[in-house]
Amino acid sequence: MDSRDHAPTLTEHELIVRCKRGDRAAQHALYERTSERVFRLLVRMTHSADTAEDLAQDTYLKAFSAIATFDERSAVNTWLYRIAVNEALQWLRRKTPVPLDPEVAAARADPRNNGHDPGAHLDIENALAALDPMDRAMLLLRYQEGLDYRAIAEVTEIAMGTVASRLNRARERLRELLRDFAPEREETQAEVRRISHGREGAARIAPPVEERAS
């Protein structure tokens, strides 16, 4: 019986059971369902499509070789994310730090900037790249992949109670990196100052920059 034709319609549990038997069609179906998420996460963790492809390959090979130990207490996506994040973190530990945008690196080295990122061209990717890898992973899992705190705790193996504080810290660090030049931050800060100084109605949230300019 060729299960390849039926694999795409199987439930997650049925797929897992078949994968545990070494069913290649089921493995392919599981890959089809999950690979975009895994690859997307790895691309933004490593900032390299080639590296992400290698790590995605390793992720699935490890997953399929260890799937007998997967007890389905978490979603298979969560389990795959955990393997992928571990692969990315190991790779990041082995490699030399990712070079930032040359202009940013130059500005950071400028003594007039007192060692801080002036951020003239520091976009969100560079800001993410400058974060601690685990903080980056947590932010990507939350905002890119939409995981809730419980799932993030499972992926990162960080205590559930610590996820919120780690995310707070990661967000603050990211905002520091973006501060004073990132439009959203500029906008927010400017608006906060304006409201604080009573120049606008207290109940009105700032409209977008373009709207204000018109």
Partner 1 sequence: MKTCEKIREVLGHYVDGEGSDETRAAIEAHVCTCAECRCEVEGLRRLGDRIAIGAEVCVPPALWSRIETQLATAAPRHRFVRFLRVRSILAAAACLVLAVGGYFAVLQGLSTRAEAAPVDFSALLDGLSGDAENAFREFVERYRGRRVSSVAARQHASQLNFAVPEQLPGGFSLNEAFALQIGDTPAAAAIYRRNGEFVGTIFHRAIHPEDYGTYRDHPCVVGEHRGHRVQVGEWRLVHVTDATTCHCVLSRLDETKDLPAILQAVAPDFKPAADHSHP
The sign one gets for the Cα dihedral 134, 19, 31, 91 is positive
Among residues 93 and 204, whose Cβ is nearest to partner 1?
204
Among residues 3 and 113, whose Cβ is nearest to partner 1?
3
Among residues 39 and 181, whose Cβ is nearest to partner 1?
39
Report the nearest approach of partner 1 to the CB of residue 110 (Å). 26
What's CA 23's distance to the chain center, in Å? 31
Report the nearest approach of partner 1 to the CB of residue 21 (Å). 5
Among residues 92 and 152, whose Cβ is nearest to partner 1?
152
Report the nearest approach of partner 1 to the CB of residue 23 (Å). 5
- Give the separation between CA 125 and CA 31, rounded to whole angstroms: 27
Q: Which residues of 103-139 are buried (b: 16+ CB within 10 A; e: fewer)?
A: ebeebbeeeeeeeebbbeebeeebbbbbbebebbbbb
Report the nearest approach of partner 1 to the CB of residue 109 (Å). 26
**DSSP of 16-53, one letter per residue?**
HHHHHTT-HHHHHHHHHHHHHHHHHHHHHHHT-HHHHH
Binding residues for partner 1, rule: CB under 8 A, are 1, 3, 18, 21-24, 27-28, 31-32, 35-36, 39-40, 43-44, 49, 53, 56-57, 60-61, 64-65, 124-125, 128, 139-140, 142-144, 148-149, 164, 167-168, 171, 174-175, 182, 184-185, 188, 191-192, 195-196, 202-206
The 3-state DSSP class for residue 151 equals helix
